[in-house]
Amino acid sequence: MRHNKKFNHLSRTHSHRDALLSNMTASLILHKRIFTTLAKAKALRMYAEPLLNRGKEYNMQNWRLVFSRLNHKEAVKELFTEVGPKIANRAGGYTRILKTGNRLGDNAKMCFIELVDYNEAMLKDSAAAGKGKKTRRSRGKKAEAPAAEAPAAEAPSAEAPAAE
């Protein structure tokens, strides 16, 4: 019977798949963003999220469990010293998948997978959106926009006669 075997096997044996996901998780922790296929990214998210959740609280049991899955000392150290404290207040959803299109050679779906709290560009956009006042636009606003540009266009022409 195929009970609890619904995950993507990625056309690899069990040991090869574990090594692939372990290396990709270590790279994700160290580099904060990696470029891969969509199928691997979805499998990586299922593999990495529980390990990132363990990284929020530093104790010997969590350290040993994460190290047994990753076998990468620098990645484990980075997880518990930098990544863990930064995601400590997040309940889940530590990774984000951004689709980028298809690969030229074999037309495989490609994407970025990244740690959510480490994308500075998106953090700046969300902070700027939170500061601004949210208003609803109406059709009347479009008519006012060209009128606002007209005085700006008149200003240089007013200075031109003064220069003569």
The pLDDT value recorded for residue 40 is: 98
Is the Cβ–Cβ distance between 57 and 84 less than 8 Å? yes
Q: What whole-number percentage of the chain has pLDDT above 70?
A: 81
CA 59 to chain centre: 27
For residue 164, what pLDDT band results from cuts at 50, 70 and 90?
Answer: very low
For residue 69, what pLDDT band results from cuts at 50, 70 and 90?
Answer: very high
For residue 53, what pLDDT band results from cuts at 50, 70 and 90?
Answer: very high
Is the Cβ–Cβ distance between 36 and 97 less than 8 Å? no
pLDDT at 138 over 80: no
Residues present in the chain in total: 164
Residue 1 neighbours by CB under 8 Å, 6+ apart: none
The two three-digit tokens of residue 57, written as one number? 């609280």
pLDDT at 58 over 60: yes
The pLDDT value recorded for residue 128 is: 79
The domains of the chain, with CATH numbers, are: 34-119 (3.90.1030.10)
- Distances in Å between the Cα of 68 and the Cα atoms of 54, 73, 136 are 13, 10, 52
Mean pLDDT for 90-102 is 96
pLDDT at 150 over 60: no
State the average pLDDT for the chain.
Answer: 86
What's at 6, amino acid-wise?
K
What's at 53, amino acid-wise?
N
pTM: 0.74
Mean pLDDT for 14-32 is 97
